[in-house]
């Protein structure tokens, strides 16, 4: 509906309405898609599949940059309007989450779904073990009080997990990705770097896609915590280099032209490979499927409200 509105008119009121509808859909996707991926994944590849979400997001960003550089506004809309249509058609054929089927008492159907996803026989012991584990989780959930903000605050484990997720998401939002992306052309221009505008636009998403591939190969081998620590440490060093370069230039001195370029590319690499995907992966893995949606919704609501104010602040700071 959002894309159809954009195709029908370029009036500011129509575009705002379309953006509102797109935001509602995106809000649901940010909550449901990581949960669905988590619930259909095996434990040993859950991190890899979680990284796939960010990988395809980066591919989409690069595709939009590429089309925007060479195609007109309405041509881009006609191309991308088919993406949600295709997604709807494919999801009609996608299997339901086994965890949800167990929750609804459809254990046999859940076993068939797991067998289809794992390419195993429906009577395989691994499948029966997964079904029993889900049943035990459901029984544990049924014994818990109704989930509310008060119950989360009173449950120390839930509250610590919720606060950890909010802190991770807040730090992720404050990692400098939006500021670096918006001011990267100006920073490189001040350093004397004169790239082709189209090449410069496509270079950052390309680096992010490459970093996402590297992250997928490392997330199960090294774990989530080391990747987050390394990613944030490298991001700090990159920002220090950028800030120092800009300060030196402001005082009238010169710096190597390649230095800010390397710092910016390095930051985008660690952002796409660690800072961006890891908090979402941790959020989906920290709680069982019965309560994870509530926690994800709570964390995402905080994040969206926080980001809306952060973007406004960035305008004044910039």
Asked whether residue 132 is assigned to any structural domain, the reply reads yes
Q: Are 211 and 177 in contact (CB under 8 A)?
A: no
Q: Are 259 and 241 in contact (CB under 8 A)?
A: yes
Asked whether residue 131 is assigned to any structural domain, the reply reads yes
What are the Cα distances from residue 285, in Å, to 217, 230, 274?
Answer: 18, 20, 16
Range of the domain at 114: 95-143
Asked whether residue 118 is assigned to any structural domain, the reply reads yes
pLDDT for the residue numbered 211: 85
Asked whether residue 123 is assigned to any structural domain, the reply reads yes
Asked whether residue 130 is assigned to any structural domain, the reply reads yes
CA 79-81-83 angle, to 5 degrees, is: 90
pLDDT for the residue numbered 121: 85
Helix (H, G, I), strand (E, B) or coil at 225: helix
pLDDT for the residue numbered 114: 87
Within the chain, which residues score under 50 in pLDDT? none
Asked whether residue 47 is assigned to any structural domain, the reply reads no
How many structural domains are present in the chain? 1
Query: 144-174: per-residue pLDDT in tens?
Result: 667 777 777 777 877 888 888 888 888 888 8
Tell me the pTM: 0.72
By C-alpha distance, which of 67, 65, 85, 66 is closest to 3? 85
Asked whether residue 137 is assigned to any structural domain, the reply reads yes
Asked whether residue 119 is assigned to any structural domain, the reply reads yes
pLDDT for the residue numbered 122: 83
């Amino acid at each position: 509906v959002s894309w159809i509105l954009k195709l029908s008119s370029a009036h500011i009121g129509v575009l705002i309405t379309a953006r509102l509808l797109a935001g509602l859909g995106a809000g649901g996707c940010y909550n449901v898609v990581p949960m669905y991926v988590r619930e259909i994944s095996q434990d040993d590849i859950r991190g890899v599949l979680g990284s796939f979400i960010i990988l395809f997001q980066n591919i989409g960003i690069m595709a939009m940059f590429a089309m925007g550089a060479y195609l007109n506004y309405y041509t881009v809309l006609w191309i991308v309007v088919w993406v949600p249509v295709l997604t709807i058609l494919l999801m009609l054929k996608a299997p339901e989450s086994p965890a949800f089927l167990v929750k609804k008492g459809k254990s046999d159907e859940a076993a068939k779904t797991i067998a289809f996803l794992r390419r195993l026989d429906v009577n395989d012991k691994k499948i029966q073990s997964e079904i029993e584990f889900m049943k035990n989780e459901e029984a544990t959930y049924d014994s818990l009080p109704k989930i509310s903000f008060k119950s989360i605050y009173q449950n120390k484990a839930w509250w610590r997990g919720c606060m950890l997720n909010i802190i991770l998401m807040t730090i992720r939002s404050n990692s400098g990705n939006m500021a670096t992306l918006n001011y990267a052309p100006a920073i490189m221009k001040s350093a004397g770097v004169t790239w082709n505008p189209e090449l410069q636009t496509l270079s950052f998403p390309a680096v992010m896609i490459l970093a996402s591939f590297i992250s997928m190969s490392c997330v199960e081998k090294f774990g989530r915590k080391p990747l987050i620590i390394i990613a944030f440490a490298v991001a700090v060093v990159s920002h220090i280099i950028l800030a120092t370069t800009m300060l030196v230039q402001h005082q009238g001195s010169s710096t190597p032209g390649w230095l800010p370029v390397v710092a910016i590319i390095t930051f985008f690499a660690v952002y796409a490979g660690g800072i961006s995907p890891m908090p979402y992966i941790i959020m989906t893995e920290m709680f069982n499927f019965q309560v994870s949606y509530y926690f994800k919704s709570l964390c995402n609501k905080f994040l969206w409200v926080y980001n809306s104010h952060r973007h406004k602040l960035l305008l004044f700071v910039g």
